[in-house]
Structures are given as structure tokens and as C-alpha cells.
């Protein structure tokens, strides 16, 4: 199989029992930005960093058996918005998502059924790039779509913190166990 031509970074991982991760960075970032965070919260997981034309690319990766199962997206800022859009428009594509500093990609609910897909939403209450309640509104939209959502509001700004990593690592361990 030929590798897809989209700009990406693939790390095979060392633990086949761990879920694969799709990393989606924020504005001004690149496909390497979240690798250290992913390695901290899910050591040994195979990692695919951000790509354009994302949903079709992920389907190509799955069809090519590069991943043994559906991935979990980890998105920060605009990457979290992209991951939420994937969940709401292509519900069978992802096994779950960790969304750092998100907001809803849509103004209205979609007829999507997420059938218990696990999602972690982490907001910062001092986030100057989001309006108060943006993450909570997205969490509620995902719940209405049938996702199993865990929402945290941390006393922090837009950047991720050690607390974000601790929460994400514990959540991921719980849903994979």
C-alpha cells in the first residue's frame, strides 16, 4: 500500500494494546506540537499527527490497517474544534476524543448519534480565546448526540497544563481499561 500524500507524522507505538491517537494542534502549530503530550498521557500508543482532508485520510489509514482499531483524537484549540466536527459529522470514525480548550464547530445540533462515544472536554476559566461556557456548550451538544462526556473547568488560561495532562491520562486509562 502506498502511504497517503498528506502532511503527517506517524509514530508506530510500542504497545499494541493501547488505542491509536490522532493529534490535532491549534492555530500556528504543526503536526509535532502534541506528540510529547500524547506520549505522556498514553505511552506506547501509535500516533498520527494532524493532516488536511482529515476524515478521508483517517479512513485511508484504517483501511490500510496502519491502525488496528479506531483512533482516539486529542485536539487542542482549533484542533479540538476539528475533532469535535469529526465526532459530529463522521460518528463512526473515532473511538473517542480528548478536547483541550474547544468550542462547538456548529451553531445547531446535528442528527448525529454517538452511541456512548467517550469524550473528555477540558476548559480554562481564564481562557482569553474562548467565551465563558464554550466548552460546556459543546459538552452539552455532544451529550445530546449520545456521547458519554466528562467535562472539567480548570483555573487556567488557553495553554495546557500539568493538570490537563493528569486528567487526560487518568481518563484515557479509565476508558481503555
Write down the domain spans for the chain: 10-176
| Confidence bin at 30 (pLDDT 50/70/90) | low
Superfamily of the domain at 10-176:
Alpha/Beta hydrolase fold, catalytic domain (3.40.50.1820)
> What pLDDT, on a 0 to 100 scale, did the predictor assign at position 51?
44
Give the whole-angstrom CA distance, residue 96 versus residue 142.
Answer: 11
Residue 28: band (very low, low, confident or very high) from pLDDT cuts 50, 70, 90: confident
Confidence (pLDDT) at 8: 61
Matching residue, cell 465526532: 87
The residue among 65 and 138 whose pLDDT is bigger is 138
The secondary structure of 39-74 as a DSSP string is HHHSTT--EEE--SSHHHHHHHHHHTTSSSS--EEE
Quote the crossing angle between the two packed helices 78-89 and 134-144, to the nearest 10°. Answer: 10
Query: Over 80: is that where the pLDDT of 61 sits?
Result: no
Amino acid at each position: 500500500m502506498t502511504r497517503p500524500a498528506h502532511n503527517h507524522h506517524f509514530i508506530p507505538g510500542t504497545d499494541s494494546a493501547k488505542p491509536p491517537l490522532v493529534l490535532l494542534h491549534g492555530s500556528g502549530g504543526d503536526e509535532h506540537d502534541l506528540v510529547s503530550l500524547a506520549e505522556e498521557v498514553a505511552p506506547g500508543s501509535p500516533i498520527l499527527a494532524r493532516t488536511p482532508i482529515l476524515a478521508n485520510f483517517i479512513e485511508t489509514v484504517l483501511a490500510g490497517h496502519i491502525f488496528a482499531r479506531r483512533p482516539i483524537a486529542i485536539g487542542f484549540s482549533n484542533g479540538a474544534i476539528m475533532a469535535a466536527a469529526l465526532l459530529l459529522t463522521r460518528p463512526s470514525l473515532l473511538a473517542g476524543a480528548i478536547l483541550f480548550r474547544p468550542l462547538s464547530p456548529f451553531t445547531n445540533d446535528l442528527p448525529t448519534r454517538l452511541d456512548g462515544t467517550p469524550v473528555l472536554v477540558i476548559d480554562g476559566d481564564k481562557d482569553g480565546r474562548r467565551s465563558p461556557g464554550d466548552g460546556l456548550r459543546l459538552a452539552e451538544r455532544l451529550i445530546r448526540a449520545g456521547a458519554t462526556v466528562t467535562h472539567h473547568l480548570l483555573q487556567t488560561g488557553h495553554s495546557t497544563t500539568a493538570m490537563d495532562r493528569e486528567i487526560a491520562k487518568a481518563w484515557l486509562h479509565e476508558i481503555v481499561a
